[in-house]
Structure 1
Amino acid sequence: MVLKNGDNLNENITVNCSGRGSGAKCFFLLIFSLIITSVIAQIPASTEQNNIAFDGKGLSIDRQAFLSQHDIVYLSPATEGYEGFPIGNGDLGAMSWTPVDKIHFQINKTNTWDDAPEGMFSPWEDRNNPEKSEKFTSLRSCGQLMIEPGLPGFDWMYLEDFEGRLSLSDAQATWKAEGPLGNIRCRSFVAGGDLPVMVVHYEDELSDPVERRVKLARWGSRVFEHWYQFFRRDFHLGNEGTEVGTEGDETWIVQPTRSLTFAMAAKLVGPGVNAQRFNSHEAGYILNTGKRCSFNVFISVVTSEEADDPLAKARENVRAAAEAGIDKIYEAHKQRWADFWSKSFVDIPDDYIENLWYMNLYQIGSSAKGDYPPHFINSIWSWNRDVRPWNHYYQWNQQIYTWPLHASGHPELMMPYAKWKREGLEKAMETAKLAHGIDGAFYSDVSDRRGNQGVGEGASEVSNSFGSSGLMAMDLWRHYQYTLDEAYLEEYAYPVMREVVRLYTNILQKEDDGMYHIPEALPFESPKDRLSKNTTNDLASVKNLFPAFIETAKKYKQDKELRIKAQEILDNLAPFVLTTIPEEAKPWGPVNVGDTIIAYGTRLRTGEPGEPWVTRPYWLPNAPIEMPCSFHPINAQLTPVFPANLVTLDDEGTKLFDACRNMALSFDPLPNNGHSLIPISYARLGMSEFLPDLLARWVDEFQLFSQGHFCYFKRDFIDYFEKGMHDELYSSAEHTIRGLTNNVRVMFSDPEEKIGLLRQPFAHMALEPGSVLEATINEMLLHSHSGKIRVFPAVPDDWASCFKLHARGGFEVTSEQAEGEVKYIAVKSLKGQPCRIVNPWEDGGEIRVREADSAKNLLKATNEKEFAFKTEPGMTYVIERVNKPVSSFDLQVISGVKNRDAKIKGRARIGIPRQF
């Protein structure tokens, strides 16, 4: 067994403290235990130079034990929903927590939509038109399940022991509470496959013979899509039309929206009681008044877009689940998650950050298998009824959850996003004509689930930005690069890529210099005063997409005229705009005034007609460079590095590479918002010396919630109160206190009224910072974007690391490193493509490539900088040094010790320690 950082030796050391001299003996044994624990905490897997976990075919891992060290452990009850445990099957999910007198589940789904009328919209048109507020398309919550023991069994005042555990290996939440009021046990998971049901098992033994109540409820609410600026006092909104019903041991709620109907059904198996209606929004069960109670609850949610009679289907699901039984459902559920975790593996020395890598992958795997992508705000983990600040799909934010998925071995989690974009293609083409008068597909940064694009009044920062279309098309192309799925390419990616290419061919203009230029556009989500020529993100999109489109169009023998035009533009495209760090700047990193950087374009002064184009600096107007940066222009500047893959380690030493590196180092890499390209760009550019500190700071600022969820607001974020949004400091951390957000306008008030609105009910997680962290770690361990595999390209030499990740071209890559030395590379070919490797032992002697079960060398003797070999589908190939082959290492099994407590890193925390 290899003990990991964060292991708890208390499980394995028993101290006998009875008898004479027990005090001294216990003291010395305790000191010994602490010393050993401290030493082992510094020794991650594969630290010993002569050990590997690779058995010749794959990694030797006790995966359940390894993952158990990353369980989320609460030793005190989570009394607020934002601290809850997320459980889900990819479509149906719940946030679950324990107020003093109940176990509370907020149940959500990916497709319970309440749609606005069809057509383009402005996401801010309710600013001056209150009638529009609360009428945008929104994703509604399904409802609540509440199990009430009848005594305050989760109140810390009456607890002797408590543990809540989110087990990542089997995606199950469990709770146990013990005290003078009695003992309570509960477990819950959400099954997938043929029985998509939420399962809850509850049992207790209480001090008094009290009533237990189990309630199924739907209390909707206003969405508060712009709560931080204005809201309306229509208290009935979100609660209209709810119908409650019961029959025997089943209860249900049917909720209509403007566009569909969904039904939530529950079946209780246990004490033999009939369900009853409590009120117009609640139904449930009153259980026996004995001291002991045990039951199972099965819950299903179905929409009218999934079944003609959603209630009948939901009831069918819970009946089938009850007949199958919890044990059978759990075994299938556990196997599905075992298969999920087998696709990838990451082992790095920082236990806390490694924990977050697994937690982020877990929660995306629990929420990204439905009809629509998980919303970047709260995903399916909303806890407060229908509240969802930032209500629309925002492309910049929304795409980020997809960035780590392919390297992490889960391209299937990309498909809801790809389907959504493909289904919205026709409306994107209509929008290009209506908003810009050109052919092609214009995907605004803001859209709804049906592909209606947010353009028009009050939306100039997205209406005039073409970068969202380019980013999205690159996302779709990336999926093909990893999977080589030809059916996907033809059905999803190619049609979208073609129309985005068409859009750009109609935007680009040929000038007197014979080159094609972007005449005017905005960097991502930027105000009008950043209108620029040759925006870097658009040029990067063209350089990435056009070759992919041309290659695919040739293969399909389609779109010849467009293909020829695309090739002409590509051959004569304007270069990226470079500039220098000006004299007044105070760069953050090791760069100097006068060093070349990449600009976000050539900025147009818009003050007077006819004013010339001038290269402008890349920070906020009149703001010193050391202040919090304007992250969207910086994201535009770094697009050639990621996600366009145009600047790689192969370009090291070139002017463009240095310009991008200098750009990345000019600002403090921790911007105000956690949806920045800077961490991933550091990894792409091989800047390993900066990454451990950056990751630690990233976690310290953005991981705000105890179960491991992030928010895009920094812990110390200062909002732009000068813009009139607030008159006091505001930060996401203050979501969790009952402070006020001031200057919130009350709509329809006359005269206009502004109030201090409570912050705490609006706490929300966000997908972006966790996915940036996961993608950054992937890029530190493996590069494949330049058509070749490069292992440990941005890992510090003192990191002992091991991984199994996926590479473009359909390859599964495994490797281990310690003390700056790569021990081997193993490549499994999934598609039989040629494989090219960057040699990690360029000065280390001869290399050989062999099939995993053979000693035959498939490669001519070489110590070249890189080399290639042919592969066959399903075969694993070992790349090793002749003078230190895999057989010369000792085999170890990677394992772990089950986590028993909260973990702390800086101001961040995973879990909740004992607080009573």
Structure 2
Amino acid sequence: MRYIFLLVVNLTIITAVAQIHKIETPESGMQNTIAFDGKELRIDQSAFLSQHDIVYRSPATEGYNGFPIGNGDLGAMSWTPADRIHFQINKTNTWDDAPDGMFSPWEDRNNPEKSEMFTSLRSCGQLMIEPGLPAFDWMYLEDFEGRLSLADAEASWKAEGPLGKIECRSFVAGGDIPVMVVHYEDELSEAVERRVKLARWGSRVFEHWYQFFRRDFHLGNEGTEVGNEGDEIWIIQPTRSLKFAMAAKLVGQNITAQKFNNREAGYVMNPGNNCSFDVFISVVTSEEADDPLAKARENVRAAAEASAGKMYAEHKERWADFWAKSFIDIPDDYIENLWYMNLYQVGSSARGDYPPHFINSIWSWNRDVRPWNHYYQWNQQIYTWPLHTSGHPELMMPYAKWKREGLEKAIKTAKLAHGVDGAFYSDVSDRHGNQGVGEGASEVSNSFGSSGLMAMDLWRHYQYTLDDEYLKEYGYPVMREVVRLYTNILQKEDDGMYHIPKALPFESPKDRLSKNTTNDLASIRNLFPAFVEASKKLKQDKQLRLKAQEMVANLAPFVLTTIPKEAKPWGPVNVGDTIIAYGTRLRTGEPGEPWVTRPYWLPNAPIEMPCSFHPINAQLSPVFPANLITLDDKGTPLFNACRNMALSFDPLPNNGHSLIPISYARLGMSEFLPDLLERWVDEFQLFSQGHFCYFKRDFIDYVEKGMHDELYSSAEHTIRGLTNNVRVMFNDPEEKIGLLRQPFAHMALEPGSVLEAAINEMLLQSHGGKIRVFPAVPEDWTSRFKLHARGGFEVISERAGGEVKYIVVKSLKGQNCRVVNPWDDGQEVRVRQVGSTKNLFKKTEVNELTFKTEAGKTYIIDRVNKPVSSFELQVISGIKNMDAKIKGRARIGIPRQF
């Protein structure tokens, strides 16, 4: 529900119409207007973001539809059952660690004593505000609004009915006083007690709930201590490796706290018709303070002294700075909404000591339940992919620190698992860098791709930030040891070339063991030159640098094959067309026969069903994230092979951690992207606040294994039914039961981040040393953006009627800049610094604009015959969203249901 107004337009008319539906200025008008005022985009940021608020016109009664709020480290999932406002409080570092050492993520099926004993991230506890009447029960409501405001990262609720009125709002402050703040007030129909409870009800983790579980009900609940003094309450929870304290202070009622039981403490308000108070909550671990309880109590006292109002003002200012870093405006309001929502939730959860877990991040709602409990590298890295282009490299740092801190153990693992020097990062690991390469984990033990992918992630951060201290402390040490690993894995053969002798594509079973795996070759071609550049810059490791240069110069080529005759390709490609394989598969013949090889393209042809398994991601890795195939390569055999590969399969996979959407954008396949994005949302955006799950809506999971009933869809979390054939551990004879599936509903970071990254790549690309604007947008898209490019550049551009109006580049580091000329019709182009008329561009035969920059200076690229001064200025704004949004089977928000 956006409106964009000219400075001379009657705003009353615009507003009246925009309340009904999204308004776009007519195409003819858009072609003659811009929002760039000569220095910056003119945006009413708060108003623009308000159109993307998440609005509930009916209460969210289940936690998985709650509102996420957080300061990047401390967070809460918040929702409104019939009789209370419920906050599940979580943190990025409340760990319960297993004994140190390598482990197998799968071995507990044969060693059941290991189940529930892996390293896990524990919830902090629950805060419950109980008004004493069922004021959120839809039976007794006349009006209701729940709102997650993105501009100021605040959740609020208003309920009104015959039982009375309730208003509540909450945010999580960062800065010097990291606390959650809750303001509550009501006016009820009768004088009743209100209760506020702080509790910790832990639970089993159920890390493999879809296969087996153990009936040890005490797990997760041991050792809880509850205390109170004056108007403060607290809970202390020990784990195997640390302890954490959660403290709360209630201000405004002048009452004394009390202990309710061994896991709950709180406040009981005297009966009355009116009530108003503030609650401040802090969580501190023993890894952050010697006395975590004392520090937590210090935090809530400082917040109370500062006041909720002052805390909110500072909080709002921090989020205004956050949103000022980037901006997109595309024709599809719903998908644009999800772009902002994904960036919001990562910004709210990725500032702690450890990266947000790809399952539930800090938005777990059901005690300690966290299916897929470990850090899985393929899934975990994906949240970082859009961050740099979206202007927030700082959100990458918990990931980079985690990988750097695990380097020594990765070096030990390379020796133990493969007998070589270097660093081996498994597909599965824990927070301390212990690698999942134990017995029964061959599918991860023989995959080197995670090491290469992760090192490329760390290099990408440097490409955007040019932060030399980061490179020296974090990026380079890891890159060096992964390069060392690969130099010891590669083998020189009679052809004079270096080959990967034996490896697996990403997370693949051992029957896909291959030679010259595509993802490894792509990693080497990306990483080795990056290491050489960094090594020269830091003047280190000359001998390894020379070895890497020689090896990459003589590296085996990617394996190409053709679409087999039995295949049924999804897109406009044909049997016999060349595609990129994921390597040359190693297969054994009869007993005693030697190994034989054949180029391998996918496990199951013909292709009649969507397929998302990791070989496809391996095959597309030269496009992304290795950045080896760019639009500069268009028409080359390798470009065509990758494009044919991308078109061979239905781009909507069974799992939402696929490279296909980003690869479509990287390859300029704009004609396919609008439909793909809509289908992506329809299948993977399952939760009302805009969260995604990695399982698609219609995915039938493990049916062929007889592990679930055939009607079970692993992502259809809101259906209350049974997950059948779940094995009960330690039972003899073996027992299988049906578990309730609803309690295991969980969000996942991957599909939302893939969507955000794909949109970024449609609007701006900067790999290959040059900037391209709108490289993959549909011809009819009217769009604009403020995004970031490699080399330390901030880029602004607008487009309408199939025509780019201008490009603005702000240089943050003073690097030389190369921009692909978007006007290929011979129009005269100029480059000038803001405030100057001097043309910095000297015409060349190449369709690129190359110019020197100064740090902190802004440069305008436009056409001489249609300069930015010829357009009429407009301001970008928006109308506050007031209801749920629907797209296909997906929705953002909850409509009125009473």
- Report the TM-score, using the length of structure 2 for normalisation: 0.98
1:892 is matched with 874
1:658 paired to 2:640 = yes
Q: Equivalent residue of 2:278, what SS?
A: strand
1:272 is matched with 254
> In structure 2, how many angstroms separate the alpha carbons of the residues matched to 1:888 and 1:397?
47
2:797 is matched with 815
Q: Equivalent residue of 1:565, what SS?
A: helix
> In structure 2, how many angstroms separate the alpha carbons of the residues matched to 1:610 and 1:500?
35
2:67 is matched with 85
1:789 is matched with 771
Q: Show CA shifts across 1:843-894 (max 9, x none).
A: 1411000011222211225684112000000000000000100000000000
Q: Is the 8 A contact 2:27 2:800 kept in 1?
A: no
Q: Show CA shifts across 1:415-449 (max 9, x none).
A: 00000000000000000000111110000000000
CA apart distance, 1:842: 1.8
CA apart distance, 1:569: 0.7
Inter-CA distance 879–594: structure 2 relative to 1 (3 Å threshold):
same
Q: Equivalent residue of 2:443, what SS?
A: helix
2:8 is matched with none
Q: Report the residue type matching 2:133 in the other structure.
A: L
Of 480, 491, 494, which residue of structure 2 is paired with 1:512? 494
1:831 is matched with 813
Q: Report the residue type matching 1:526 in the other structure.
A: S
Of 403, 416, 433, which residue of structure 2 is paired with 1:451? 433
Of 723, 733, 736, which residue of structure 2 is paired with 1:751? 733
2:3 is matched with 3
Q: Report the residue type matching 2:483 in the other structure.
A: V
1:883 is matched with 865
Unaligned runs of 5+ in 2: 6-10
Q: Is the 8 A contact 1:846 1:862 kept in 2?
A: no
2:853 is matched with 871
Q: Is the 8 A contact 1:517 1:534 kept in 2?
A: yes
CA RMSD of aligned residues (A): 1.7
Of 556, 567, 576, which residue of structure 1 is paired with 2:549? 567
Q: Is the 8 A contact 2:64 2:745 kept in 1?
A: yes
2:331 is matched with 349
Q: Report the residue type matching 1:517 in the other structure.
A: H
> In structure 2, how many angstroms separate the alpha carbons of the residues matched to 1:75 and 1:425?
49
> In structure 2, how many angstroms separate the alpha carbons of the residues matched to 1:466 and 1:485?
27
Q: Show CA shifts across 1:776-796 (max 9, x none).
A: 000000000110000000001
CA apart distance, 1:749: 1.0
Of 603, 618, 634, which residue of structure 2 is paired with 1:620? 603
Q: Report the residue type matching 1:519 in the other structure.
A: P
CA apart distance, 1:615: 2.9
The correspondence of residues 7-86 of structure 1 with structure 2, limited to 5 A, is: 41-43=23-25, 48-86=30-68
Q: Is the 8 A contact 2:813 2:854 kept in 1?
A: yes
Of 813, 836, 841, which residue of structure 1 is paired with 2:823? 841
In the comparison of the two structures, how many residue pairs are matched?
892
1:217 paired to 2:229 = no
Q: Report the residue type matching 1:620 in the other structure.
A: P
Inter-CA distance 40–309: structure 2 relative to 1 (3 Å threshold):
closer
Q: Report the residue type matching 2:662 in the other structure.
A: I
The correspondence of residues 423-822 of structure 1 with structure 2, limited to 5 A, is: 423-608=405-590, 610-621=593-604, 623-822=605-804
1:371 is matched with 353
Q: Is the 8 A contact 1:846 1:861 kept in 2?
A: no
Q: Equivalent residue of 1:735, what SS?
A: coil
> In structure 2, how many angstroms separate the alpha carbons of the residues matched to 1:613 and 1:534?
14
CA apart distance, 1:4: 6.8
Q: Is the 8 A contact 1:443 1:468 kept in 2?
A: yes
> In structure 1, how many angstroms separate the alpha carbons of the residues matched to 2:255 and 2:432?
43
> In structure 1, how many angstroms separate the alpha carbons of the residues matched to 2:775 and 2:175?
39
Q: Show CA shifts across 1:380-417 (max 9, x none).
A: 00000000000000000000000000000000000000
> In structure 2, how many angstroms separate the alpha carbons of the residues matched to 1:908 and 1:39?
18
1:98 is matched with 80
1:187 is matched with 169
Inter-CA distance 45–298: structure 2 relative to 1 (3 Å threshold):
farther
> In structure 2, how many angstroms separate the alpha carbons of the residues matched to 1:473 and 1:613?
32
Q: Equivalent residue of 1:887, what SS?
A: helix
Of 910, 913, 916, which residue of structure 1 is paired with 2:892? 910
> In structure 2, how many angstroms separate the alpha carbons of the residues matched to 1:475 and 1:723?
36
Q: Equivalent residue of 1:734, what SS?
A: coil
CA apart distance, 1:461: 0.9
> In structure 1, how many angstroms separate the alpha carbons of the residues matched to 2:602 and 2:364?
35
Q: Report the residue type matching 1:689 in the other structure.
A: E
> In structure 2, how many angstroms separate the alpha carbons of the residues matched to 1:165 and 1:457?
48
Q: Is the 8 A contact 2:4 2:876 kept in 1?
A: no
Sequence identity (%): 84
Inter-CA distance 116–12: structure 2 relative to 1 (3 Å threshold):
farther
1:153 paired to 2:135 = yes
Q: Show CA shifts across 1:451-474 (max 9, x none).
A: 000002121111110000000000
CA apart distance, 1:823: 0.2
Q: Equivalent residue of 2:165, what SS?
A: strand
> In structure 1, how many angstroms separate the alpha carbons of the residues matched to 2:260 and 2:91?
24
Unaligned runs of 5+ in 1: 6-10, 16-32
> In structure 2, how many angstroms separate the alpha carbons of the residues matched to 1:650 and 1:254?
58
Q: Is the 8 A contact 1:605 1:611 kept in 2?
A: no
1:285 is matched with 267
CA apart distance, 1:729: 3.6
Q: Is the 8 A contact 1:174 1:185 kept in 2?
A: yes
Q: Show CA shifts across 1:630-680 (max 9, x none).
A: 420000000000000000000000000000000000000011000000000
Of 120, 123, 126, which residue of structure 1 is paired with 2:102? 120
Q: Report the residue type matching 1:806 in the other structure.
A: H
Q: Is the 8 A contact 2:722 2:739 kept in 1?
A: yes
Worse overlay, 721-730 or 554-563: 721-730
Worse overlay, 42-51 or 114-123: 42-51
> In structure 1, how many angstroms separate the alpha carbons of the residues matched to 2:894 and 2:4?
20
CA apart distance, 1:562: 1.1
Worse overlay, 557-566 or 200-209: 557-566
Q: Show CA shifts across 1:156-186 (max 9, x none).
A: 0000000000000000000000000000000
> In structure 2, how many angstroms separate the alpha carbons of the residues matched to 1:283 and 1:427?
42
Q: Equivalent residue of 1:299, what SS?
A: strand
Q: Is the 8 A contact 1:520 1:532 kept in 2?
A: yes
> In structure 2, how many angstroms separate the alpha carbons of the residues matched to 1:816 and 1:653?
28
Inter-CA distance 285–822: structure 2 relative to 1 (3 Å threshold):
same
Of 114, 132, 139, which residue of structure 1 is paired with 2:114? 132
> In structure 2, how many angstroms separate the alpha carbons of the residues matched to 1:196 and 1:155?
33
2:233 is matched with 251
> In structure 1, how many angstroms separate the alpha carbons of the residues matched to 2:589 and 2:85?
59
> In structure 2, how many angstroms separate the alpha carbons of the residues matched to 1:706 and 1:45?
33
CA apart distance, 1:735: 1.6
Q: Is the 8 A contact 2:784 2:797 kept in 1?
A: yes
CA apart distance, 1:12: 6.3
CA apart distance, 1:617: 4.0
Q: Report the residue type matching 1:215 in the other structure.
A: K
Q: Report the residue type matching 2:3 in the other structure.
A: L
Q: Show CA shifts across 1:663-709 (max 9, x none).
A: 00000001100000000000000000000000000000000000000
- Report the TM-score, using the length of structure 1 for normalisation: 0.96
1:392 paired to 2:392 = no
Q: Show CA shifts across 1:466-503 (max 9, x none).
A: 00000000000000000000000000000000000000
Inter-CA distance 320–686: structure 2 relative to 1 (3 Å threshold):
same
Q: Show CA shifts across 1:38-75 (max 9, x none).
A: 78545589961000000011100000000000000000
